[in-house]
């Protein structure tokens, strides 16, 4: 039997064409599924042969993916429920500072609505120039206090935490109640201190008169009277420090600034240190220049005096104390260096806390109130300066206050000295 080649060729062509059509149709269904499907494993096209194997693998992959997505959605819902229950407001900002998500506390604190404000820039919702500057500056080490919000009279503490790829987490806390309690505490301390000052002055005055006129007959009675007078003086000093600290903490107490002749001020404090030392120490004055400082002279005098008196109190007899003032790289630096007993490193970070004492018995013997360095810290902060403490047990201590360039006014002589130092 002779087979016609044309018929065989035609038969093969039909078979090949059918295979091509089958594959094209399968690819068309796959394309349609990719375009319009919800990518559910249940809707994957059904085919046999090799295409069936491919679609089966695709279905298994989608099944695993759906399970993973369900797990992620459950975790996300739990996280959202947990953050919604927090008293702190949480706002997620993208790399352009636009709102991606927020919880109910943030809506209450900042007057937001997640449905309406999602995608809006945060500065459109929080329209305060200081907040915009805080956001643009990018220095989020310290929280930002936000008051006079649009919807409620509250004080908020705003903390921004960068994470991911330039994204940010904005955390808001309502500290209105704590601020009111702090104001009540400050007012109470100030009022009590003010009321105590007058009776202490009267008591101290009478005790001093009795001691000076020598009207107490026995030696034991004189010692008791002297002890009463010393404690009255100590209490009066404590009251004065409490009042000074209260004034510095008062937000309504604006800083009254003037150009302060630091060299002249240190000359006066040097004489006071000599009187306080009574010849027990070698005290020297190192004035590198005559630069002036923009600030409040009374507050600066109080801060410098506290550091100097501490050096005198805690430096043993025959020790050395150096008071310094210089300008370096445009910054004014006041320093007190002593050869005293020194301070252990674990105490340095807490020295500016109220009533914190390295050695309680020693501090009482020297007449300290425990408030001196707290006063110094507030004065330093009000002048946008910073304080550095370097100390070693048995060697001595160095206290430095570094003032920013915009507060230092160089005379021609000071400018030349600063240029030489560089």
Series of mean pLDDT values for 10-residue runs along the chain (422 residues): 72 83 82 74 73 81 83 79 80 90 87 88 86 86 76 81 88 86 80 84 85 76 85 86 83 82 93 91 88 92 92 90 91 92 86 77 60 90 92 89 90 55 51
Superfamily of domain 86-174: PAS domain (3.30.450.20)
* For the chain, domain boundaries: 35-80, 86-174, 178-249, 258-421
Q: How much is the pLDDT for 323?
A: 95
**3-state secondary structure string, the chain?**
CCCCHHHHHHHHHHHHHHHHHHHHHHHHHHHHHHHHCCCCHHHCCCCCHHHHHHHHHHHHHHHHHHHHHHHHHHHHHHHHHHHHCCCCEEEEECCCCEEEEECHHHHHHHCCCHHHHCCCEHHHHCCCHHHHHHHHHCCCCCCEEEECCCCCCCEEEEEEEEECCCEEEEEEEECHHHHHHHHHHHHHHHHHHHHHHHHHHHHHHHHHHHHHHCCCCCHHHHHHHHHHHHHHHHHHHHHHHHHHHHHHHCCCCCCCCEEEEHHHHHHHHHHHHHHHHCCCCEEEEEECCCCEEEECHHHHHHHHHHHHHHHHHCCCCCCEEEEEEEEECCEEEEEEEECCCCCCHHHHCCCCCCCCCCCHHHHHHHCCCCCHHHHHHHHHHHCCCEEEEEEECCCEEEEEEEECHHHEECCHHHHHHHHHHC
Residue 30, number of CB atoms within 10 A of its CB: 18
Nearest to 301 by CA among 293, 311, 313: 293
CB-based contact 179:155 (threshold 8 Å): yes
CA dist., res. 212 & res. 33, Å (int): 106
- The CATH classification number of 178-249 equals 1.10.287.130
Q: How much is the pLDDT for 9?
A: 82
Residue 368, number of CB atoms within 10 A of its CB: 21
Q: How much is the pLDDT for 415?
A: 53
Q: How much is the pLDDT for 191?
A: 83
Q: How much is the pLDDT for 365?
A: 55
Q: How much is the pLDDT for 60?
A: 83
Q: How much is the pLDDT for 334?
A: 95
Fold of 258-421: Heat Shock Protein 90 (3.30.565)
Q: What does pTM read for this prediction?
A: 0.62
Q: How much is the pLDDT for 349?
A: 85
Residues in the chain: 422
């Amino acid at each position: 039997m002779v087979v016609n080649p044309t018929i065989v060729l035609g038969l093969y062509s039909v078979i090949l064409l059918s295979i091509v059509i089958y594959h094209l149709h399968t690819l068309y269904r796959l394309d349609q599924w990719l375009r319009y499907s919800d990518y559910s494993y249940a809707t994957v096209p059904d085919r046999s042969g090799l295409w069936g194997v491919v679609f089966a693998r695709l279905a298994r992959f989608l099944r695993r993916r759906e399970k993973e997505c369900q797990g992620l959605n459950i975790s996300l819902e739990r996280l959202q429920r947990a953050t919604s229950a927090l008293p702190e407001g949480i706002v997620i900002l993208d790399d352009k500072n636009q709102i991606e998500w927020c919880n109910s506390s943030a809506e209450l604190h900042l007057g937001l609505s997640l449905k309406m404000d999602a995608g809006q820039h945060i500065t459109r919702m929080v329209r305060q120039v200081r907040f915009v500057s805080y956001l643009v500056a990018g220095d989020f080490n310290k929280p930002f206090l936000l008051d006079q919000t649009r919807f409620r009279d509250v004080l908020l503490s705003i903390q921004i935490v960068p994470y991911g790829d330039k994204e940010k987490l904005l955390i808001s806390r309502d500290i209105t109640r704590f601020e009111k309690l702090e104001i009540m505490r400050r007012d109470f301390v100030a009022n009590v201190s003010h009321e105590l000052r007058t009776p202490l002055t009267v008591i101290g005055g009478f005790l001093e008169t009795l001691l000076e006129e020598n009207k107490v007959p026995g030696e034991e009675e004189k010692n008791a009277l002297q002890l009463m007078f010393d404690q009255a003086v100590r209490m009066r000093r404590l009251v004065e420090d409490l009042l000074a600290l209260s004034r510095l903490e008062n937000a309504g107490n604006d800083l009254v600034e003037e150009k302060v002749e630091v060299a002249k001020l240190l000359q006066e404090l040097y004489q006071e240190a000599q009187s306080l030392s009574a010849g027990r120490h070698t005290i020297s004055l190192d004035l590198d220049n005559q630069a002036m400082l923009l600030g409040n002279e009374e507050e600066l005098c109080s801060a410098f005096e506290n550091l100097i008196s501490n050096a005198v109190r805690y430096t043993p007899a025959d020790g050395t104390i150096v008071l310094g003032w210089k300008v370096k790289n445009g910054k004014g630096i006041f320093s007190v260096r002593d050869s005293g007993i020194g301070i252990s490193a674990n105490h340095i970070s807490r020295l500016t806390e109220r009533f914190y004492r390295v050695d309680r018995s020693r501090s009482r013997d020297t007449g300290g109130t425990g408030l001196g360095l707290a006063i110094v810290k507030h004065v330093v902060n009000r002048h946008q300066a910073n304080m550095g403490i370097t100390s070693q047990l048995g060697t001595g201590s160095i206290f430095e206050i570094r003032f920013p360039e915009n507060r230092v006014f160089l005379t021609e002589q000071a400018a030349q000295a600063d240029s030489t130092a560089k």
